[in-house]
Chains A and B, each alone.
Chain A
Amino acid sequence: MSYQPTVSQLIHLADNALILGHRLSEWCGHGPALEQDIALSNIALDYVGAARNWYQLAANQINSLQDKAAFPLNAQGEATEDTLAYLRDAFDFKNFLLLELPNGDWAVTTLRLLLSASYQQLLLQQLSTNEHADVAAIAAKSLKEVTYHVRWSEDWVKRLGDGTDESHQRLQAAYHELWPYIGEFWENKLALPIDIASMQAQWLAKINQVFEASHLPQGVLPTWHQTGGTEGIHTEHLGYILAEMQFLQRAYPNAEW
């Protein structure tokens, strides 16, 4: 039997991209150097683009369902990328908690990107060979982008780790803040068709190699971690993201933009 992605799986992939892209886009105009502003905006754009691709695939799937009214629809009665992004409440979002945390400083931003993009890279490598053609195509496109995000964030984490005392301390603080959230990567509660065990080992090896160059202690998978995102139980931060992001669609229902 060939693999059919579930709507939940697709929405999870889309939400991850959208929420991280949203956070990264908050840096636009406020980065530590003009060149870095431009770099982060590029990365944010990649994620907004990836989110659109996954939402569109999810919307196609929803529109072929009998009970599509369980999902938010537009005036024509169709699910679209925008109804999915703009008309769901927090408990229907399935992104990892890690991605909705505030940007913090440059250390939190770049370390989060490294942790997430390294996971995404392994995930997308597997999905890019998936037998479902659309899934494989979107994954292959995103994989190229994410490979660059890994490189970019890895370079920055190393710079901060082996830069000044202050930058090292800030990186360490970022590590303590973010590490409790990585456990969600390995739960695979939505049963994506991936080999989690091999991904986990590769991910940890990669991260620890960067940590070594950054003079950080080797990371060990936490025995207890923050969880709930993929089931719609979020941090308080997501509500604020959605309030901001969805305001126009909510204030002007069924309008075209």
Chain B
Amino acid sequence: MEQMLSPEAQHFQEKIDKEIKIEPKDWMPEKYRHTLIRQISQHAHSEIIGMLPEGNWITRAPSLKRKAILLAKVQDEAGHGLYLYAAAETLGISRDEMYHQLHTGKAKYSSIFNYPTLTWADMGVVGWLVDGAAIMNQVPLCRTSYGPYARAMVRICKEESFHQRQGFDSLLVLSKGTPGQRRMLQDAINRWWWPSLMMFGPTDDASPNTVQSMQWKIKRFTNDELRQKFVDVCAEQVKLLGCTLPDPDLKWNAERGHYDFGAINWQEFWNVVSGNGPCNKERIEARRKAWDNGAWVREAASAYASKQQAKQAVAAA
């Protein structure tokens, strides 16, 4: 931290402390701007990459109702990515630049989406655990200090509430289904549980940015606080499915008023984050391909727009 804050910086921190939102044209420390760009764009990328593991089940959904729900859900994720990119754009970075960072591997996104979706039960478990973890992260962000980010998060949280419910709903159906369906369900929980816990990020003592981000109210709870809350909720919910979480150390600790849980494999986490997860390459490749294949389409639309503008200018003259 700087020893002496400049008058602007002091005024800025006062506004934050008084819960006054920071808006795009307000003065802000460069580090605040960069931290936000990084955080919001990572979040946006996560939504866009997150469309892929679920999107690949749209054409295989087992009923027309589930097909419509899944399609609507994945479409919402595109919308959420869009809201977030737009929020980041108010900080002075273009969406193309953010894409570029994503496509060249410079930008990070939630490591969870580097895991494969192997069965239909994964759709429900992603809704329940992955969206559940995301919501836990996102709800506090509706009060984040940067206005456009907070407004985007309010909209996202409002839309997101159906995602987790539809996920759990589809799992309940599986839990009451055939032995084959129940096997599919437990298998999906086993594969997604630990990666979901990793979604909250490194432990607090390994998160160097947390202190500053909390002070700026970009972040409102620490990684470990949110992770514990998530474990407590899921440990109860899994009982409704007649399934178990794959953690022999999971047990209620009356003294703490929380569930204790086993050690997270951080080596796996860091490997997946740094590109060695099962699907990292496929995910980026799919996005890059969509972008490259779309180039001529975007160019055509721009060319058409300028031709139309020229025609109107002539007509007006």
A residues with CB within 8 A of B: 18, 22, 25-26, 28-38, 41-42, 44-45, 48-49, 51-52, 55, 81-82, 85-86, 105-106, 158-160, 162-164, 166-167, 170, 241, 244-245, 247-249, 252, 254-257
* Nearest-neighbor residue (CB-CB) of B292 within chain A: A32
B180 close to A252 (CB less than 8 A): yes
In the assembled complex, the Cα of A159 lies from the Cα of B65 at a distance in Å of 34
13 A-B residue pairings within 8 Å (CB atoms): A28-B51, A29-B55, A34-B95, A38-B82, A45-B71, A82-B63, A160-B300, A163-B300, A163-B304, A241-B59, A248-B62, A248-B120, A256-B177
Known A25-B58, A163-B299, A255-B181: A158·B304 in contact at CB below 8 Å: yes
From A26, A31, A81, A158, B64 is in contact (CB under 8 Å) with A81
B298 close to A255 (CB less than 8 A): no
A30 close to B79 (CB less than 8 A): no
Interface of B is mostly: helix
A248 close to B60 (CB less than 8 A): yes
Residues 251 to 302 of chain B near chain A (Cβ within 8 Å): 286, 289-290, 293-301
Asked whether any CB of chain A lies closer than 8 Å to the CB of B67, the reply is yes
Contacts of A35 in B (CB 8 A): 82
A32 close to B298 (CB less than 8 A): yes
Q: Please give the distance in Å from B260's CB to the nearest CB on chain A.
A: 36
In the assembled complex, the Cα of A241 lies from the Cα of B304 at a distance in Å of 35
* Nearest-neighbor residue (CB-CB) of A109 within chain B: B297
B180 close to A166 (CB less than 8 A): no
A48 close to B64 (CB less than 8 A): yes
From B58, B170, B297, A32 is in contact (CB under 8 Å) with B297
Q: Please give the distance in Å from A80's CB to the nearest CB on chain B.
A: 9
In the assembled complex, the Cα of A20 lies from the Cα of B59 at a distance in Å of 12
Q: A30-B289, A38-B79, A164-B303 are known; give 19 further A-B pairs, CB within 8 A.
A: A28-B58, A29-B48, A29-B55, A31-B294, A34-B81, A36-B297, A41-B72, A45-B68, A48-B64, A55-B64, A106-B294, A163-B299, A163-B304, A164-B299, A167-B296, A241-B59, A255-B62, A257-B66, A257-B170
A252 close to B290 (CB less than 8 A): no
Interface of A is mostly: helix
B residues with CB within 8 A of A: 48, 51-52, 55, 58-68, 71-72, 74-75, 78-79, 81-82, 85, 95, 120, 170, 173, 176-178, 180-181, 286, 289-290, 293-301, 303-304, 307
Contacts of B289 in A (CB 8 A): 30
Contacts of B181 in A (CB 8 A): 252, 255
Q: Which 8 A-B pairs have the closest CB atoms?
A: A32-B294, A163-B300, A167-B300, A41-B75, A248-B62, A32-B297, A29-B55, A29-B51
Contacts of A256 in B (CB 8 A): 173, 176-177
* Nearest-neighbor residue (CB-CB) of A160 within chain B: B300
In the assembled complex, the Cα of A48 lies from the Cα of B71 at a distance in Å of 10
Contacts of A170 in B (CB 8 A): 296
In the assembled complex, the Cα of A30 lies from the Cα of B49 at a distance in Å of 11
B72 close to A249 (CB less than 8 A): no
From B75, B177, B294, B303, A33 is in contact (CB under 8 Å) with B294
Q: Please give the distance in Å from A256's CB to the nearest CB on chain B.
A: 6
B63 close to A257 (CB less than 8 A): yes
In the assembled complex, the Cα of A42 lies from the Cα of B68 at a distance in Å of 10
Contacts of B81 in A (CB 8 A): 34
In the assembled complex, the Cα of A255 lies from the Cα of B65 at a distance in Å of 14
B301 close to A163 (CB less than 8 A): yes
A28 close to B301 (CB less than 8 A): no
A32 close to B290 (CB less than 8 A): yes
In the assembled complex, the Cα of A244 lies from the Cα of B48 at a distance in Å of 24
Known A82-B63, A159-B300: A29·B294 in contact at CB below 8 Å: no
B177 close to A34 (CB less than 8 A): no
* Nearest-neighbor residue (CB-CB) of A107 within chain B: B297
Known A52-B68, A159-B304: A255·B51 in contact at CB below 8 Å: no
Q: Please give the distance in Å from B97's CB to the nearest CB on chain A.
A: 15
Known A38-B79, A252-B178: A31·B290 in contact at CB below 8 Å: yes
In the assembled complex, the Cα of A245 lies from the Cα of B61 at a distance in Å of 7
Contacts of A105 in B (CB 8 A): 293
From B82, B177, B303, A255 is in contact (CB under 8 Å) with B177
* Nearest-neighbor residue (CB-CB) of B176 within chain A: A256
